[in-house]
Amino acid sequence: MPEPFVAYLRVYEPLSSFEPPLREEVDAAVERGSVDPFDAGLWEQHLWLRSQLAAPPRLLPGENADGEVQGVGGVLVLAPEDVPTAPAATVGPGPLVCPLDVHGRAAAALVGFLGDADVPLRTAALPESVDKARTRAGAVVSELSGGAVHVLSSTWTVPLPWFVVVDPTERCVFTEPDRRRVCWRVAMADARRRVARAHSVSKQSIGDDGPTQILKETGRWLERFHPHSAVELDYGGLVQLMTQSDLDADTSAEDVHAIVDAMEADDAEEVATRYEQLRDFWSEFAAREHHN
């Protein structure tokens, strides 16, 4: 089964920064063994499939038949020395841990689906329990109001504002046949600084909507975590769609940073040129969503 065609923006917090009782759950998950980052998408997919094949099926992955959550679930672990930092940024102490938060993320996705989908589709997906599903998923999302999920995901493409977070020169590419991955890692302080600058420039250049709104939301999300955390942008399963020539031609991070610089310099021609390069590169992958 192929890995889901999903890209991720993740936050890894120092293990010491988690407060009880979550700390005990995260400690236990780390002791059980972290999820292999190359297999994170498949791990999440299998967790969801198990929830649907259970008897009776579970509404959300990571819970039992009564809707009770079964611990923190899977975690990813990262060492501070694997995170490039600017001179003023601090990461750690280690280990850095990213709870995959599949239960909360699934609940948020279900709330969105129930709000956006047409009635026939909602009824087909949840023929006997639409109201119950809405209430339970809404309750899970409400419990997240004091914190935040550590993972944002996007199907079939990478939201272009996410590239603002990273240093274009720090891309990690793994191209072994069965171990392909593209990711960037960055200190939280550097990520917040880049997002804040891009948001300010974008707001002055194009107003409050579109990319500016995404940057605003991303900045607010980052502020909810420990300042010595790390942030990771991971192409996830999207790398399955990319050939080696695609990876060689991918200048997305460079292009996004150049767009921010060009907007600040009021260089409309450079903005248009860079945006056209991004559109040409990502349109092929976006088109596959419609084919599916």
- The DSSP string of the chain is -PPPSEEEEEEEEEGGGPPTTHHHHHHHHHHH-PPPGGGHHHHHHHHHHHHHHSSSPPSSTTB-TTS-B-SS--EEEE-GGGS---TT----SSPEEEE--HHHHHHHHHHHHHHHS-HHHHHHHSTT-HHHHHHHHHHHHHHGGGS--SEEEEESS--GGGGGGS-GGG-EEEEETTEEEEEEEEEHHHHHHHHHHHHHHHHHHH-SSTHHHHHHHHHHHHTTS-TT-EEEEE-GGGGGG--HHHHHH--HHHHHHHHHHHHHTT-HHHHHHHHHHHHHHHHHHHHHHHH-
Judge whether 249 lies within some domain.
yes
Final residue of a domain: which of 132, 151, 170? 151
Last-in-domain residue among 151, 177, 199? 151
Answer yes or no: is 1 within a domain: no
Residue 256 near residue 233 (C-beta atoms within 8 A): no
pTM of the predicted structure, to 2 decimals: 0.90
**Residues 140, 265: contact at Cβ < 8 Å?**
no
Q: Is 107 within a domain?
A: yes
For residue 43, is it within any domain?
yes
Whether 217 and 276 map to the same domain: the answer is: yes
Q: Are residues 75 and 159 in the same domain?
A: no
The fraction of the chain above a pLDDT of 90, given in percent, is 57
pLDDT digits (tens, 9 = 90+) for 229-247: 999 999 999 999 899 999 9
Task: Return the minimum-mean-pLDDT range out of 19-33, 133-147, 166-180, 269-283.
Answer: 133-147
Residues 108 and 232 in one domain: no
Q: What is the mean pLDDT of the chain?
A: 88
Q: Which residues of 188-216 are buried (b: 16+ CB within 10 A; e: fewer)?
A: bbbbbebbbebbebbbebeeeeebbebbb
Instruction: Identify whether 279 is part of a domain.
Output: yes
166: containing domain? 154-291
Whether residue 264 is contained in a domain is answered as yes
Are 144 and 259 contained in the same domain?
no
Task: State the average pLDDT over residues 87-96.
Answer: 89
Share of the chain above pLDDT 70, in %: 93
Structurally, the chain folds into a number of domains equal to 2
Residue 71 counted as domain residue: yes
Q: Within this chain, do residues 112 and 198 fall inside the same structural domain, yes or no? A: no
**Domain co-membership, 49 together with 126:** yes
Note whether 161 and 187 are same-domain residues. Answer: yes
pLDDT band of 200, cuts 50, 70, 90:
very high
**Sorting pLDDT into bands at 50, 70 and 90, what band is 125?**
confident
Task: Tell me, yes or no, whether 264 and 208 share the same domain.
Answer: yes
Mean pLDDT is lowest, of 35-44, 74-83, 246-255, 280-289, for: 280-289
In a domain, 287, yes or no: yes
